[in-house]
Structure 1
């Protein structure tokens, strides 16, 4: 069996970033930058006031109280073309540019003003309540980097940099095909020996959450010809994902059925639990990941391998599989030769430390525990028995745009 690390390495090597396309900044949320976003403006463009008050020369208010002539009024969006002379001040509002000659702001609470004069009651040093030009960023600065998935904050930053359009990676097109005579779609008539299918829908949702476009091909019956015919719907996709039919039983037909359509297998079987019977290969030039049929196995494999493939296609630079640490909440027996991914809840212990407590039963058919889990505890092959209170590696299932 192949190690998880080797399998991930082979998946990464099989994909390269997709071409770029241009989108409006208003449509850029969740997209991945294909090139650096470079500011077209300096912000603020001038020295501006950070408060409502009076623009003065610091030298004129070194000794207070002092009464100054109001030479101008400068609202936000306006300006004063003249110059503040000795003994003068300008009424100014937040965001307005400082008039020439002034170098400090006295807030209005520290003044008494009439129509033409203002008495300053508190001194102010040079630069007081002044936002200098370029305090936030300058024209030519790289504000956002290629490979970065854009958040709402990033969209606002791009807009502030005066970038109405952004170059982003095309969304990967991912065909999703569930298999099995024993599964039916939610709401469809269900035979006495059938179960409701969740894999196609959960995997499609996962693809969408990771920034791809899911093409749900439905459910293929356990028939080689039918499987091959339905899989033709993956033509033109950037990735085909199947679930079920990847093991060794008489009805596990993915390799056999798609083999007739030219499936070339790179690897099959990974030393991990859940998710051992995973296939990776190519069919008609389209990369293919054949995931196990058990719902938990399918989604755990998606977190590791589908997410990795999509991140490569999108050119994402952040490592979504970077492990974090937590305190183990219960004892664990020694591990065997497979790498374990245990569903666990996160809480805080008495010292405020993050604690991960695995569910008592880890059967790969139990989707309810995955839905309630906050993380996966990751255990290396042949890991020794562990007692509660030790530090373990975890893979969070929230944040990082995990989609699960």
Structure 2
């Protein structure tokens, strides 16, 4: 079987899935998700002309002072005031502007003696100064958040101000994590000989949580045994995505592929022209998408960023599935590539990026120091100091 390009494998993985069903989530529960439909304003903001400052509402153009204070306007109250020439009204931030007022004289530039008010500074800088006009932010019916846009804290505030208490979003995907390998023990458990703490599941859990709101079910460690692996897949088939790490290659102790076939899964692709991460597979088991990641932790991390995160965004209804690459100059040198696309761990220093030493697919110390992946297309020539390369930022 020939190796798929990264782009082709990504496209085939996404073609296995459609965005999840729509639900209406309370505002805070919508954080980090994507709008499933255009979210339009149910009200106008501001709903009336409001004062932007504490001070006095006056008719400055007709009479630049002095004035007589005839009333007061407070935030949240309908004052019903109308100012005649020479009148002024005490006003507070957020309060409705009386009919007839053309500016707000800020408190710091006003001198008041009883009901008499005069100018104590330079005065208003322009007509309409310190007045927030009705509809200045948005009007009813305006699209506040377009479909497919990510909902962050500012969007939640905007939607709340627009009259919404819940927002249309896609259901959170259910992700089952399965770690395979006789050599693995749970994190924190004693190790002896060649046993190894399981790091992929907590790493993937953290990566998913940082990128996409999801319901994550860590199914633990499955031994290198065909029956046990089949049972693990069967038990997880109610998830939207089943993510495995390890056991996806062709060794005598690699049971993920035969276990998937035995459980009734259909395999869409296996092996990608990617370094690190060639033994990557994808398919379907019932309604679940199965994504088999390599067992080496750096390979698992890179492939999760390139495949799992875009898949989760796709299920969530995002219109921006892939992280944007950006051009930057190289510090140092990096070797030519072969037939696989390579993602080198690197770190940015000023306006340049440098490849880390320790590019082994199990070298977690180097990965923890990286804040970028240097993207190297297949058959790229060696790159020298000062050359332009592309990176994906990861921190």
TM-score over 0.5 (shorter chain)? yes
Deviates more, 1:316-325 or 1:116-125: 116-125
* 2:66 counterpart SS class: strand
**Distance (Å, rounded) in 2 between the aligned partners of 1:287 and 1:27:** 25
Deviates more, 1:21-30 or 1:194-203: 21-30
* 2:314 counterpart SS class: helix
Q: Which residue of 2 aligns with 1:245?
A: 247
Q: Deviations over 1:68-110 (max 9, x none)?
A: 1112111222343231111111121111111011111111222
Deviates more, 1:269-278 or 1:152-161: 152-161
Q: Which residue of 2 aligns with 1:77?
A: 76
Mapped contact 2:180–2:247 kept (Cα < 8 A): yes
Q: Deviations over 1:139-164 (max 9, x none)?
A: 11111122222212222222111211
Displacement of 1:225 after TM fit?
A: 0.7
1:42 aligns with 2:44: yes
**Distance (Å, rounded) in 1 between the aligned partners of 2:287 and 2:332:** 47
**Cα pair distance change 1:338/1:100, threshold 3 Å:** same
Q: Deviations over 1:222-259 (max 9, x none)?
A: 11111101121212111111111111211111111221
Mapped contact 2:60–2:103 kept (Cα < 8 A): yes
Structure 2 counterpart of 1:277, from 276, 279, 287:
279
* 1:326 counterpart SS class: strand
Mapped contact 2:172–2:215 kept (Cα < 8 A): yes
* 1:158-237 superposed matches below 5 A: 158-209=159-210, 210-237=212-239
Displacement of 1:202 after TM fit?
A: 1.5
Unmatched 5+ stretches in structure 2: none
* 1:15-30 superposed matches below 5 A: 15-30=17-32
Give the root-mean-square deviation of aligned CA atoms.
1.5
Displacement of 1:395 after TM fit?
A: 0.6
Misfit runs of 4+, over 3 Å? 121-125
**Distance (Å, rounded) in 1 between the aligned partners of 2:97 and 2:331:** 59
1:393 aligns with 2:390: yes
* 1:60 counterpart SS class: coil
Deviates more, 1:265-274 or 1:200-209: 200-209
Q: Deviations over 1:292-311 (max 9, x none)?
A: 11000011100010011111
Displacement of 1:187 after TM fit?
A: 2.6
**Distance (Å, rounded) in 2 between the aligned partners of 1:371 and 1:232:** 34
**Distance (Å, rounded) in 1 between the aligned partners of 2:72 and 2:113:** 13
Unmatched 5+ stretches in structure 1: 349-353, 399-404
Structure 1 counterpart of 2:289, from 284, 287, 290:
287
Q: Deviations over 1:302-358 (max 9, x none)?
A: 00100111111101112432212222111111111110100111121xxxxx21111
Displacement of 1:215 after TM fit?
A: 1.3
1:384 aligns with 2:381: yes
Structure 1 counterpart of 2:372, from 360, 370, 375:
375
Displacement of 1:123 after TM fit?
A: 4.3
Q: Which residue of 1 aligns with 2:138?
A: 137
User: TM-score of the superposition, structure 2-length normalised?
Assistant: 0.95
* 1:266 counterpart SS class: strand
Q: Which residue of 1 aligns with 2:361?
A: 364
* 1:41 counterpart SS class: coil
Displacement of 1:186 after TM fit?
A: 1.5
1:104 aligns with 2:96: no
Q: Which residue of 2 aligns with 1:51?
A: 53
Structure 1 counterpart of 2:308, from 306, 309, 316:
306
